[in-house]
Amino acid sequence: LNYPTAQFLISAPTLALCPDDTGAEVAFAGRSNAGKSSAINALTQQNALARTSRTPGRTQLINFFSIMNDESRRLVDLPGYGYAKVPESVKLEWQKHLAEYLRNRFSLRGLVLLMDVRHPLTEFDQMMLDYADQREMPVHILLTKADKLKKGPASAALQKVRSSLKEWEDLVSVQLFSSLKRDGVDTLSQKLNQWLYT
């Protein structure tokens, strides 16, 4: 497990201000409250990282973390989508930067898309899948807070999401995840290793 070595690198408001577009990175996206900070904490075994990303003023920035002191291997925490009480014009501005990053970032190897297992495939999620599809970039879906469902309903939810994404099965993988129980962390790590180190 390399991910506990993750360190905050930089926050960028726009693609132009991101670190050099070399090496490899994996980005995390999700609607706000999907459990993104908790998942990053579970993966890295550090509470400070996602807290950094949540510092007021940083929540709408693209936050970069290096792995194993190597700035050419990065985790990227994308702005949470759906935070209430910001003007529409500001939301549109964030969406523009997010789209710009997802479309043009060369070193981006894959997208981890987090969805609450009880409310998967929202309009935002579809939008993220479309960006990934446009550049044939792989997406790994975490169905978060799996501990909130019993085993049967959780695996039913997993199957349902898998079958509704059947046309994209070459590019999309799906797993259950619980930060609370630390379930699914190893599967996630393996996927990240595959994207970042091969």
* Rounded Cα gap, residues 138 and 80, in angstroms: 20
**Of 34 and 112, which CB lies nearer to ligand GDP in the complex structure?**
34
144 is a site residue for ligand GDP (CB under 6 A): yes
Report the interhelical angle of 123-134 vs 88-104 (nearest 10°): 30
Q: Which of 180, 187, 189, 194 binds ligand GDP (CB under 6 A)?
A: 180
**Of 93 and 147, which CB lies nearer to ligand GDP in the complex structure?**
147
Q: Which of 80, 110, 120, 138 binds ligand GDP (CB under 6 A)?
A: 80
* Rounded Cα gap, residues 71 and 8, in angstroms: 10
3-state secondary structure 24-72: EEEEEEEECCCCHHHHHHHHHCCCHHHHHHHCCCCCCCEEEEEECCEEE
Stretch that binds ligand GDP, among 19-27, 32-40, 98-106, 125-133 (CB under 6 A): 32-40
35 is a site residue for ligand GDP (CB under 6 A): yes
36 is a site residue for ligand GDP (CB under 6 A): yes
**Of 11 and 178, which CB lies nearer to ligand GDP in the complex structure?**
178
